[in-house]
Amino acid sequence: MMLRANQHKILFLVFISIIFSKNILCQKKIEDQKTNIPSKVDSTQKTDPTKDIYNGLKTISETISNIEKKAFRNPDFNNIIQSSLKTLVSTLDAHSAFFTEETYKATMDTTAGEFSGIGISIISKTAEDDALVIVDVIQTGPAEKAGLKSGDKIIEINSEKIRGLATDEVINKLKGKTGTTANIKILRDRKVLEFKMKREIIKDQTSFCYLFKLQKVYYVSLKIFAETAAQQVSELLDKANKGECNGIVLDLRRNPGGILDSAVDMASLFIDKDSLVVITKDRDGQVVNQYQTKSDPVLKSKVPIFILIDNFTASASEILAGCLKYYSEKSHNKLKVFLLGTSTFGKGSVQEVIPITSGCALKLTTMLYYLPNQESIQALGIEPDFLIKPKIVPVEDLKLINDLYGKETSFKNHITVKEVAKNNGKYCNLKEIKKEQAEEKEKNFEEKQQEAIMQDNQIQAAVSMINLFNMAQKCNPNEIDTRKKAITFLKQNYMTDEKIDLIKIK
């Protein structure tokens, strides 16, 4: 049996394109010989790549021919080819992907930060991964109401295993029409748990801000770099310029990036106009774009800025943290930026979405980011100035510990509240206790957010260091007049999680 006519046509066109490319290569070699310029040859390349492509296409045509002639099941060649392309593109790197028409359309449908889903942030996976990690759960969203937590690993969505799916495909399966049900299976503490939730319109709060009133320290959290991210921070800097602020804590933890221009706008608030923020280079090391600040800085004050980072701080948020650290090191007693937390994710690559035929698209890694000092963050990330590991005990775990061990009531045969009340001639008002417990459960989003901030040891560390910095500035400014000296001073006066020298005395 021969190949169908349209398959013949495709293979013929591919064959012609290969021959054409071979002719170009031959012509280039002849021209090089004429001008006595040696052709560029990679000593590590043992085979002609064009020949490899030709042999590969020959293998594909023979495979298709045999499938059409002998396969027991009637083949869906469109599905076979697209599945093959998904696998092929995913082997290039961790972030490149092939989008089918359905996946591409669903990916483009998300607009203006509003969509219908379950309210979680996730980290990228490869198609071979069996699970996808939840980085953050949006408060008051369907996932939080159902009981999903940061750190849970999704293994199945609506009875479909996620192995073999790219990150974008998983995201599209989590989205859906408002009111539809999403059944999620997750892995938590080696146990498989199942959750059901109805999708809702998700309006993720991209930023929020609080004031530590007594310390006069502003705390601002950026969840993603949206178009308006720089505006709120700009208003805080105005207060800092007026002396109404002793320091700023900028929280970039679990920030996966976002719009690069937004990160550049954010950098413009702190550093001089026309300062280099980031460079992109192609695979040949050639500069493709240079991103520079476009306006004069808003910050005039010398207040310290502590940027919180962690292993989920990625891409544009790494660029901002690395850029501000670079200019803080260069400036003398002008910009004081310190990084606190743990090392960042290390995503220093640029993806380009390229539409192709049949409504499909390629998401292709085409460039790498480089900081102003020409260093790449790819696979390395950025190290903090102060290593402070998170030490938050989850509320549920803390409650369990308290219930089992942390109270008199955890002891067997303890004297009960009722017995105490009876001895005093009074009975405790159990209705009031139950009412207080119900009110605890009904705490709104704002209260939960404030509680989380107050229990966060990394935020507490940043505020304490700002206080130390300001005390030194008043008492002995020479101790902190450079960034390097300030780091030494703060480490001497604040215990971090870095290895310390302990000397046994006796």
Q: pLDDT by residue (tens digit) across 167-205?
A: 888 988 998 889 999 999 999 988 999 999 999 987 756
Q: Is residue 482 part of a domain?
A: no
Whether 365 and 399 map to the same domain: the answer is no
How many distinct helices (H) and strands (E) make up the chain? 15, 19
The answer to whether the CB of 308 falls within 8 A of the CB of 340 is yes
End-to-end CA distance of the chain: 90
User: Of 155, 182, 203, which closes a domain?
Assistant: 203
**Domain around 366:** 207-387
C-beta separation of 276 from 246 below 8 A: no
| Strand runs labelled E in 326-401 | 337-341, 349-355, 361-370, 386-387
**Residue 35 within any structural domain of the chain:** no
Residue 56 lies inside a defined structural domain of this protein: no
Q: Are 157 and 269 in the same domain?
A: no
Structural domain contains residue 60: no
- Closest by CA position to 306, among listed 271, 335, 338, 328: 338
Hey, which of 3-17, 162-176, 206-220, 434-448 has the most confident mean pLDDT? 206-220
Look at 217 and 21; give whichever has higher pLDDT.
217
Answer yes or no: do 169 and 261 share one domain: no
Residue 414 and residue 369 share a domain: no
The answer to whether residue 40 sits within a structural domain is no
Give the per-residue pLDDT at 228: 77
Residue 469 maps to a domain = no
Quickly state the pLDDT bin for 54 (edges 50, 70, 90): confident
Of 355, 387, 419, the domain-final residue: 387
pLDDT single digits (tens) 325-357:
999 999 877 899 999 999 999 999 999 999 998
Would you state the pLDDT for residue 403?
54
Residue 277: C-alpha distances to residues 111, 234, 293, 487 (Å): 27, 18, 7, 23
Number of domains in the chain: 3
Comparing 12-16, 137-141, 497-501, which segment has the lowest mean pLDDT? Answer: 12-16
> Would you place residue 2 in the very low, low, confident or very high pLDDT band (cuts 50, 70, 90)?
very low
Q: What is the mean pLDDT of residues 221-238?
A: 84
pLDDT class of 414 with cuts at 50, 70, 90: low
At residue 328, the pLDDT reads 96
Is it the case that residue 417 has pLDDT exceeding 90? no
Query: How do residues 105-133 score in pLDDT, each as one tens digit?
Result: 877 765 444 568 999 988 778 777 889 98
Taking the alpha carbons of 402, 408, 410, 411 in that order, is the dihedral positive or negative?
A: positive
What is the predicted pLDDT for the residue at 8?
47
Share of the chain above pLDDT 70, in %: 78
Predicted confidence (pLDDT) per residue in 138-166, tens digit: 878 899 999 999 889 999 999 999 998 88
At residue 13, does pLDDT exceed 50?
no
Paired tokens of 422 = 């009876």
Strands 217-222 and 207-212: antiparallel
CATH code, domain carrying 332: 3.90.226.10
If we measure between CA atoms, which residue out of 309, 187, 321 comes closest to residue 253?
309
- 491 vs 415, higher pLDDT: 491
pLDDT, mean of residues 379-383 = 94
Of 171, 186, 203, the last residue of a domain is 203
- 418 and 300 inside one domain: no
Q: Is it the case that residue 395 has pLDDT exceeding 60?
A: no
Q: What is the mean pLDDT of residues 218-239?
A: 86
pLDDT tens per residue across span 437-479: 555 555 677 888 888 899 999 999 999 999 999 999 999 999 9
Q: Does 299 lie in the same domain as 362? A: yes
Backbone phi and psi for residue 501, each to the nearest 5 degrees, phi listed first: -90, 115
Residues 257 and 316 in one domain: yes
Same-domain check for residues 377 and 360: yes
Q: Name the token pair of 346.
A: 């290390």
The residue ranking higher by pLDDT, 126 or 300, is 300
Is residue 361 one of the residues assigned to a domain? yes
Q: How confident is the model at residue 28 (pLDDT cuts 50, 70, 90)?
A: very low
Q: Exposure string (b/e) for 46-56, b if CB count within 10 Å is 16 or more?
A: eeeeeeeebee
What does the mean pLDDT of the chain come to?
83
Q: Check whether residue 180 and residue 251 sit in a common domain.
A: no
Task: Let me know whether 383 and 256 are in one domain.
Answer: yes
**pLDDT computed for residue 46 by the predictor:** 56
* 146-155, 231-240, 298-307, 358-367: segment of lowest average pLDDT: 231-240
| 3-class SS shares of the chain: helix, strand, coil, % to 5 | 40, 20, 40
Regarding whether 212 and 196 lie in a shared domain, the answer is no
262-297 confidence digits (pLDDT tens): 999 999 999 999 999 999 999 999 999 999 999 999
pLDDT level of residue 102 (50, 70, 90 thresholds): confident
This prediction's pTM: 0.80
User: Is 376 part of a structural domain of the chain?
Assistant: yes
Say how many residues make up the chain.
506
Per-residue confidence (pLDDT) for residue 362, from 0 to 100: 95
Cβ neighbours for 467, distance < 8 A, ≥ 6 positions apart: 215, 217, 246
CATH of the domain at 169: 2.30.42.10
Same-domain check for residues 253 and 330 = yes
